[in-house]
Amino acid sequence: MATPHISAEPGDFAETVLMPGDPLRAKVIADHYLEDVKTVTDTRNMLGFTGRYGDTPVSVMGSGMGIPSMSIYAFELYTQYNVEKIIRVGTCGGISPTVKVRDIIVAMGASTDSSVNRTRLAGDDFAAIADYGLLEATVNAARKAGIAPQVGNVFSSELFYNPRANFFDTLKAHGILAVEMEAAGLYGVAAETGKRAVSVLTVSDHVVSGTSTSADERQNSFHEMMQVALEAAANAH
């Protein structure tokens, strides 16, 4: 029962799927943390794996970049593969002065310039929010690991290279912690399908202060976030 974008069979995915934008980060997570791993999909090289994290079955699959790509994969996972929970494990650009490179952010809400959620609500505003139980499990997992996560509002941007004048100043003035490109879409799909989602993000660069990390680090070195997400997957009810 493959979908147009996922070549897996029914039952191939666990109830919880971790989703980084980068399919190679999905492979890093599977290689480092899962046992009895099998590759369940590789259509378009959007790699997906299922294995065990301790006693907990967990899948991990790339979402691609941007709300349209994430929305396709999340919708198919929720509606065709009985996936109940998606934990996005992404990178983001810090905006708030309270946020530093390598900090972990849990996106309680996600503002956006995308129209996808307004389309769902026929033009009305939609508060794109995380599932509370997953948010709590994620924050608890971080604190248990000695990490103080920043919890708040992020901005899911349609454009990585945004030409809007004073874009980051406006977001900063509204208490937005960081910018990324998928959370508001994921939360909209979860709401539409009656499923659950949260986004855990590592600050890969700071768009105001200009500090950054390399592409290699973005792919391989965000292990704190990966462990927090896996512990949340194991402990969320």
Ligand X SMILES: O=c1cc[nH]c(=O)[nH]1
Which segments are annotated as binding site for a purine D-ribonucleoside?
Answer: 5, 180-182, 204-205
Number of DSSP helices (H) and strands (E) in the chain, helices first: 8, 9
Member of 20, 51, 94, 188 binding ligand R1P (CB under 6 A): 20
Member of 76, 84, 131, 182 binding ligand R1P (CB under 6 A): 182
Residues 125-164 contacting ligand R1P, CB under 6 A = 160
Q: Which of 50, 61, 57 is nearest to 25 (CA)?
A: 61
Q: Which of 121, 129, 186 is nearest to 152 (CA)?
A: 129
Q: Please give the Cα distance from 35 to 38 (Å, whole number).
A: 9
106 near ligand R1P (CB under 6 A): no
Given the complex with ligand X, which of 132 and 160 has the nearer CB atom? 160
Annotated binding site for phosphate: 21, 25, 44, 88-91
Q: Do 171 and 179 meet the contact criterion of CB atoms below 8 Å apart?
A: yes
Residues 21-80 contacting ligand X, CB under 6 A = none
Residue 88: both structure tokens together? 């996005």
How do strand 150-156 and strand 178-180 relate by DSSP bridges?
Answer: parallel
Quick check: helix, strand or coil at residue 204?
strand
208 near ligand R1P (CB under 6 A): no
Member of 128, 181, 200, 230 binding ligand R1P (CB under 6 A): 181
List the x/- string, 21-50, binding to ligand R1P by CB under 6 A: xx----------------------------
Q: Residue 23 binds what, of ligand X, ligand R1P, none (CB under 5 to 8 Å, by partner type)?
A: none
Member of 158, 205, 208, 221 binding ligand X (CB under 6 A): 205
94 near ligand R1P (CB under 6 A): no
C-alpha distances (whole Å) from 56 to each of 37, 59, 61, 111 are 12, 10, 16, 32
Residue 54: both structure tokens together? 């301790």
Q: Which residues are catalytic?
A: 205
